[in-house]
A and B are shown apart, each in its own frame.
Chain A
């Protein structure tokens, strides 16, 4: 059951991230950044709201986990390189931390 819920959430999350990337990513990866921010805020809210068990497996582990990505952010920032790449990486991590915290407080 857990695997099915994870798979179900991921089957929506991963293609949604690809779509955001295709529409919004250019020299700066706005799509990936937006996806990471939205997913982090949503997971923070879920946990803050006390969501657990199967709903958290579906929405948190499955959807948010597949929707957001660490690997693409790391590769994109190294590919950009320099100050721009560093700003993107640090901005992503701090931004996601801030919205996850805000989501947790609101939840």
Chain B
């Protein structure tokens, strides 16, 4: 699987990024978290990571590389966010919820990595390598 041309890839990333970001913004405004732990963004990042790990398994993505960039780099890259996760942790620390901040930070990483590893067991290694070469997870 060869990566799509740069112009096509940029367009696919932009279109997907808009959809993923709108979904994230929608979820965080409809499910505002009242207690200290930012569950909405936690689940966005964990579920988004697990879904990204499953993208290489889609036959359509193997046939159409720009679709992989649209779904992976675009939709799921736009859906999940490192900046909000970091900023929320900083806010927890600043409001003296230090333990909650540590659990949020470490818990998101542990859950995301565990979810990706669990999904990855079902994806053949050549598909994972091909998807990475096509720029699905940038």
Chain A positions near chain B (C-beta within 8 angstroms): 2-3, 6-7, 9-15, 17-22, 25, 31-32, 36, 39-40, 42-44, 47, 57, 60-62, 64-79, 89-90, 92-93, 96-97, 99-101, 104
Contacts of A15 in B (CB 8 A): 10-11, 13-14, 17
What's the least CB distance linking A104 to chain B, in Å? 5
Task: Determine whether the beta carbon of A73 is less than 8 Å from that of B13.
Answer: no
Contacts of B14 in A (CB 8 A): 10-12, 14-15
Most chain A CB within a 10 A radius of its CB, from B25, B28, B74: B25
Q: How many residues of chain B have a CB within 8 Å of chain A?
A: 58
The main secondary structure of chain B at its interface with chain A is helix
* Least CB separation from B74: chain A residue: A14
Could you count the A-B residue pairs with CB atoms below 8 Å apart for me: how many are there? Answer: 208
Task: Determine whether the beta carbon of B83 is less than 8 Å from that of A101.
Answer: no
* Least CB separation from B28: chain A residue: A61
